Amino acid sequence: MMAAEASQNRDFKVIAAEYGQKYGILMALVLICIILTFANEYFLTGRNIVNVLRQTSINGILAIGMTFVILTRGIDLSVGSVVALAGIVSASLATTSSTAAVLGAPYAAPIPLAVGIGVGLVAGWVNGVFVARYNVPAFVTTLGMLSAARGMALLYAGGKPVPALTDGYRFIGTGSILGIPMPIILFALVFLGAWFVLTSTRFGRQVYAVGGNPHAARVSGINVRRVRLLVYVISGGLAGIAGMILAARTGSALTQAGIAYELDAIAAVVIGGTSLSGGVGKVTGTLIGALLIAVVNNGLDLMGVESYYQQVIKGALIIAAVMLDRARHKAE
Amino acid sequence: MKTLMKTMTLAAVLLSSTAAVAQDKPKIGAAVYGLNAEFMQLWAAALEDHPAVKDGLVDVTIFDGRYDALVQQEQFETMITQGYDAIIFVPIDIEAGAEAVQLAHDAGIPVFGSNTRVNSDLLNAYVGSDDVQSGYMEAKYVLDQIGCTGNVVVIEGPIGQSAQIQRLEGNEKALAECPDVEVVEQQTANWSRAEAQTLMENWLTAHPGDIAGVIGQNDEMALGAIEAIKAAGLSVNDFAIAGIDGVTDALLAVKADEMASILQDGAAQAQGALDLAIKAVNPDYEPMSKIWEQYPDMPWNGGSDKEYNVPWTPVTLENVDALLEMRQ
């Protein structure tokens, strides 16, 4: 009887902490939105909501890839550099003077876009091979890729920006369908895809299993190496997509693009409640984390608050989120 | 391991042999803060393109400071050890660079500043452009366009960098002449196009229909503002927008009549500094760069001035094609 009560009590603690964590972040987001609605008349307008979502899209896509990696106890520090590399390489095929443009509209966008995703996938695959096959720590592997991919982007472009992109290519950054900007549509598709994979597929369950307990996962017949490889490929491919959206939005691909983007992506994942020790977390949390960062930046910009405060507040959010994570672990 | 040793020996032999060949030629090193962005690449390309380098009269080596004051200082130490005859210096930091200049001075090597300033009176001479002036010129353009009335926003460089401080001083000088103009927003976007785009999107929301002019302290940020305006479904022609530097994308935007830009002639800053450096090693030398003819306002004066001011060139629809041609 006593034992049952104690275990019930513990279950309750776990559940409370889990709910507190999951809905704590959501509540924080709602609370901040309510405050900003009262603080600034333009915050809750259709146009500003579109702005916030658009400003979330690139970091959001990177953060979703990062969620897969962190769920397996990994980390991907290379995404910012892969953003630049994929943007530069794909954009170089999409300038108004490039072959694709000369071939005509049907080729002007698809070929460069496919190449850009390909660059991201290859970079991710290289990361994955070193981490999964050669057991090099993810931090070290992706730190190496962070440097190498940036260097390759600089080499490829000779350090110069790649300007004058075709309208077809720019559509993914500046176009819209039914009034919804393309970056938001792509972000939504990536989110829905990731959500489906993580909640409803065998691969999704394997990701959690590998992150939760790699040894048990291996014993139960999961190809751990394959799962670990694939999460880096996913992260790289999504970084490729993000890089092209960035180039299409800014109108030219820049070699300095994406510097320190990996940190914002990791921040969104951590704020969203995914545990850096793997196995626990949800892509919905990452979505909320990414939105929270964008909403805070947007709100402070609207109110004319100096950008340096934004960095301080983001830092405080990250630490608060990790505190919640620790509290939950203790409860378990 | 064996191969590595072999390679290293080979490299050492190669290094010493090139040093031997180059002994009679003046050896000039250029320490630049970093080669990741277009502007410094144009600077470096112009240095390699100097007639004295092409004719093989001097050996020039460019050191990439990788945006780190300490790396630059170590490169100075390397140049001192290797017995360079003169150094051209583009420092990352106005204060930290002084130590490097001191080291070269102690070793008896003349140092010439170019493009960015260093807080040291040991510099033999400085060839650069006055950022206060460009800040004034770009703000003046925006204010003239809006008829000295209405609201403007200022997008600043990284707070505390010498270019940001001086360009802001110039911006404010022009703004003081238009007391009816209000600066409704002023914030840094760290020279970044993507950051400026986000900032401008949010400002357009906060001040709908209320912003007439955009003063970007460099071209990249002005270009970011243009993309934000387009993304908001507004017409770029309803805004007066200006930037500084004359990077290629900005030239294209000027050609499309979307903004104004003021070209900073990094090529002249590089070649002018090299002429001075060669003169310091070889007192009989006469300057070979075309820039002294190109800019009558900046006389050579026997290479004895402490400061050479490369004039700014406003990019206009008339000269933009010629400038773009030079970039190919």
Mutate to test the interface with A, among B38, B185, B218 (most CBs of A within 10 A): B38
> CB contact, 8 Å: A256 with chain B?
yes
B257 pLDDT exceeds 50? Answer: yes
Band (pLDDT 50/70/90 cuts) for residue B117 is: confident
Instruction: Tell me, yes or no, whether A63 lies in a domain.
Output: yes
Band (pLDDT 50/70/90 cuts) for residue B210 is: very high
Task: Give percent above pLDDT 70 in chain A.
Answer: 88
Residue B17 is predicted with a pLDDT of 44
Tell me the range of A87-91, A187-191, B90-94, B184-188 where mean pLDDT is highest: A187-191
Residue pairs between chains A and B whose CB atoms are closer than 8 Å = 79
Closest-CA residue in chain A for B200?
Answer: A301
CB contact (8 A) between residue A163 and residue B37: no
Residue A194 is predicted with a pLDDT of 97
Mean pLDDT of B268-295: 94
Instruction: Tell me, yes or no, whether A8 lies in a domain.
Output: no
Instruction: Tell me, yes or no, whether A178 lies in a domain.
Output: yes
At A100-121, the pLDDT tens digits run 666 666 667 888 899 999 999 9
Residue A329 is predicted with a pLDDT of 65
Residue A299 is predicted with a pLDDT of 87
Residue B23: count other Cβ atoms within 10 Å of its Cβ.
10
B158 pLDDT exceeds 80? Answer: yes
Instruction: Tell me, yes or no, whether A47 lies in a domain.
Output: no
d(CA A141, CA B187): 37
Residue B266 is predicted with a pLDDT of 92
B23 pLDDT exceeds 60? Answer: no
B1 pLDDT exceeds 50? Answer: no
B71 pLDDT exceeds 50? Answer: yes
CB contact (8 A) between residue A301 and residue B202: yes
Instruction: Tell me, yes or no, whether A311 lies in a domain.
Output: no
Residue partners of A228: CB distance under 8 A and separation at least 6? A72, A74, A128, A131, A132, A210
Residues of chain B found within 8 Å of residue A174, distances taken between Cβ atoms:
227, 230-231
Residue B289 is predicted with a pLDDT of 94
CB contact (8 A) between residue B193 and residue A254: yes
d(CA B128, CA B81): 28
Instruction: Tell me, yes or no, whether A101 lies in a domain.
Output: yes
> CB contact, 8 Å: A87 with chain B?
no
CB contact (8 A) between residue B248 and residue A163: yes
Q: Could you give the residue ranges of the DSSP H alpha helices within chain A? A: 2-39, 46-71, 79-92, 99-103, 105-108, 110-128, 138-157, 167-174, 182-200, 202-212, 214-219, 224-250, 261-271, 283-302, 307-331
Mutate to test the interface with A, among B35, B198, B258, B320 (most CBs of A within 10 A): B198
**What range defines the domain where residue A188 resides?**
54-259
B286 CA: distance to closest CA in chain A (Å): 33
Residues of chain B found within 8 Å of residue A45, distances taken between Cβ atoms:
205
Per the model's pLDDT, the better-predicted residue between B124 and A16 turns out to be B124
- Residue B166: closest CA among B117, B221, B119: B117
Residue B240 is predicted with a pLDDT of 97
Instruction: Tell me, yes or no, whether A285 lies in a domain.
Output: no
B320 CA: distance to closest CA in chain A (Å): 16
Closest-CA residue in chain B for A183?
Answer: B231
Which residue shows structure tokens 């109110």? Answer: A303
Contact assessment for residue B242 and residue B138, using Cβ atoms and an 8 Å cutoff = yes
Strands A176-177 and A180-181: antiparallel
Which residue shows structure tokens 């243009």? Answer: B226
DSSP A56-68: HHHHHHHHHHHHH
CB contact (8 A) between residue B231 and residue A249: yes
User: How far from each other are the two terminal CA atoms of chain A, in whole angstroms?
Assistant: 21
> CB contact, 8 Å: A55 with chain B?
yes
Domain count, chain A: 1
- Predicted structure pTM score: 0.78
B3 pLDDT exceeds 60? Answer: no
Closest-CA residue in chain B for A248?
Answer: B227
Q: How crowded is the C-beta side of B131, counted as CA atoms within 13 Å?
A: 17
- The complex scores an ipTM of 0.71
Strands B125-128 and B307-309: parallel
CB contact (8 A) between residue B252 and residue A42: no
| Domains, chain B | 25-129+265-310 (3.40.50.2300), 131-263 (3.40.50.2300)
Contact assessment for residue B88 and residue B62, using Cβ atoms and an 8 Å cutoff = no
Residue B22 is predicted with a pLDDT of 44
Instruction: Tell me, yes or no, whether A270 lies in a domain.
Output: no
CB contact (8 A) between residue A159 and residue B36: yes
d(CA B118, CA B113): 7
Contact assessment for residue A42 and residue B205, using Cβ atoms and an 8 Å cutoff = yes
Ranges of residues in chain A whose predicted pLDDT is under 70 = 1-22, 98-107, 325, 328-332
A78 CA: distance to closest CA in chain B (Å): 18
CB contact (8 A) between residue B194 and residue A255: no
Residues of chain A found within 8 Å of residue B230, distances taken between Cβ atoms:
174
Per the model's pLDDT, the better-predicted residue between A227 and B162 turns out to be A227
d(CA A270, CA B312): 48
CB contact (8 A) between residue B202 and residue A298: yes
d(CA B72, CA B224): 31
